[in-house]
Amino acid sequence: MVVVRTVTSFGRSGTFDWLYQRVTALVLIAYTLFIVGFIFFSDDFGYESWSALFAQSWVRIFSLVTLLSTVVHAWIGLWSVVTDYITNRMMGPKATALRLLVEVLLAAVAVIYVVWGVEILWGV
Amino acid sequence: MLKVSIYRYNPETDKAPYMQDYELDTEGKDLMVLDVLELLKAQDPTLSFRRSCREGVCGSDGMNISSKNGLACTTPLSEAAPKGKLVLRPLPGLPVIRDLVVDMEQFYEQYKKIEPYLQNDTPAPAIERLQSPEDREKLDGLYECILCACCSTACPSFWWNPDKFIGPAGLLQAYRFLADSRDTATDERLSNLDDPFSVFRCHGIQNCVNVCPKGLNPTRAIGHIRNMLLTRAV
């Protein structure tokens, strides 16, 4: 019995990857509705109300959770794309190197965004 | 006159595959695509295709008929060539052996992986393992699969990863044994499907449902497997 096992997926298994992707999608929807709702329904939308909003800890935490959700969601999705199109079956051994390169770049972008995001959220 | 364009490839003589045009007088009859192939083979004996039962039971003549996978023997011209032009190609994604004949090895490898036979570790009863009518009903819509490969070869996930993704046909059969009240290997079966490829490369686009000549629904079966995996995991 040949069983496919990979260590590069995000979760412990395909099941958890699937679950993480759905849960993070819900967080992204909630945050999008929250921010768009705030912009459209606040009477005096501007610098004052915006900075007052982000002065609250729970908004910063919600924002950070959303940022982390984006990273997890994007990683699982893009890992699927990369393993669909850059395969050893189609390209030979060089696919491994190319896939690794793309994955390292994605991981680097993810780390940069998270650190940068924390800096922005708690920096002002 | 019916215009027919057929994918031809003989690896022993052709550098590359090409489309060959034929014309056939159907005498106004609404023939099945397989009848057309048989009549054309009488004209040109080099034309190769698989066939056996000619009534949609054996699954030998799965092919790409005017851009949609189906069985040649049960697809009428009125459906496949309403404007008098029929285009026949081999099932997409599998290696071509010759003309419309494909190498099904990858497809059967995936079928083999799901261990498509009843496994029961309890002592065999004297006569037979009984099943209630309700439990038997759970196998409806699953056992009818004839393994023609129309669904799996219509699935982009199977095109990209035929060595890792089990594909709709294999997964429909995987669920057929997961759903069987007489099978006791449910947990082992689920463990073998829990990786990111075997089941989870299905993104639910339902190409499989769209082409199945038996009207089965592999996407729904895959959804049931996913729910079983989730229930076990969380």
Q: Which of B199, B229, B231, B232 to substitute to test the interface with A, most A CBs within 10 Å?
A: B229
CA distance B21 to chain A (A): 31
User: Mean per-residue pLDDT for A85-107?
Assistant: 94
Residue with token string 């060089």: A94
Q: Residues B9-15: what's their mean pLDDT?
A: 96
Comparing CA positions, the residue from B89, B90, B88, B87 lying closest to residue B104 is: B90
ipTM for the assembly: 0.84
Closest Cα in chain A, distance from residue B233 (Å): 7
- On whether both B151 and B213 belong to a single domain, the answer is yes
Which residues from B are below 8 Å from A85, CB to CB? 160
Segment holding B167, helix H or strand E: helix B167-178
Give Cα B82 distance to the centre of its chain: 24
pLDDT band at A2 (very low <50, low <70, confident <90, very high): very low
**Residue A9, pLDDT score:** 60
Mean per-residue pLDDT, A38-56: 92
Q: Tell me the shortest Cα–Cα distance from B119 to chain A, in angstroms.
A: 15
CA dist., res. B73 & res. B61, Å (int): 7
pLDDT at res. A124: 73
The verdict on B124 and B28 lying in the same domain is no
Predicted local distance difference test score (pLDDT) of residue A4: 47
Judgement on whether residues B137 and B195 belong to the same structural domain of the protein: yes
pLDDT of residue A44: 87
Structural domain containing residue B50: 2-102
Q: How far is CA A75 from the centre of its chain?
A: 6
Domains and CATH numbers, chain A: 14-123 (1.20.1300.10)
In this structure, the number of other CB atoms found within 10 A of the CB of residue B35 comes to 18
Q: Domain total for chain B? A: 2
Query: What's the whole-model pTM score?
Result: 0.91
Mean pLDDT of chain B: 97
Which of B155, B150, B147 is closest to B203 using CA atoms?
B155
Residues B109, B223, single domain; the answer is yes
Predicted confidence (pLDDT) at residue A1 exceeds the cutoff of 60: no
Average pLDDT of the segment spanning B67-87: 97
Measured between beta carbons, which residues in chain A are less than 8 angstroms from residue B234?
A: 19
Question: Residue A6 pLDDT > 90, yes or no?
Answer: no
Angle formed at CA A77 by CA A72 and CA A79, multiple of 5 degrees = 95
For an interface test with A, the pick among B119, B160, B224 (most A C-beta atoms closer than 10 Å) comes out as B160
Which of the four pLDDT bands, split at 50, 70 and 90, describes residue A11?
low
Other CB atoms within 10 Å distance of the CB of residue B98: 17
Same domain, B208 and B182: yes
- B37 and B116 in a single domain? The answer is no
Mean pLDDT of B202-221: 98
Q: Which residue of B has its CA nearest to A76?
A: B196
